[in-house]
Amino acid sequence: MVIFGLKPYNTLRALVALQCSRCHQHTPHRLWRKVNKFALFFIPLFVVSRSYTVECGSCAQVRKVSRDDAQGLRDQARAQDDVAAQKRAQVTGYRVISSEPGDPQNLH
Ligand SMILES: [Zn+2]
């Protein structure tokens, strides 16, 4: 008797701030990669399919994105991380030199 099947793997690839198309909130979205691997006797052997989804952090809406779009979102997440790192670099001691009181993100 041969036991075989597909084994799914979900991996969180990035957290990127986007505006949701459903709830219109500007929140972090999770970029997930789902990989299905062919498994024989419960041992994963090779990748059968690969897909990417983006999940809203506010309303949990999930939508599929292409591989190119996923790469673009990862680049965008890296750029947002760079901006966050620059903002952290502006903090001296425990006092923030630069603050943006008009920025609605400070309310969260
Ligand atoms: Zn949403």
**106 pLDDT above the threshold of 60:** no
Q: What is the mean pLDDT of residues 19-24?
A: 94
How confident is the prediction for the chain on average, in pLDDT?
A: 85
For residue 99, being part of any structural domain is answered with no
- Distance in Å, CA 58 to ligand 1 centroid: 5
- Distance in Å, CA 22 to ligand 1 centroid: 5
Host domain of residue 30 = 4-90
- Distance in Å, CA 104 to ligand 1 centroid: 17
Q: How many domains does the chain have?
A: 1
Percent of the chain with pLDDT over 90: 69
- Distance in Å, CA 3 to ligand 1 centroid: 40
Q: How many alpha carbons lie under 13 Å from residue 98 in its C-beta half-sphere?
A: 8
- Distance in Å, CA 83 to ligand 1 centroid: 23
For residue 63, being part of any structural domain is answered with yes
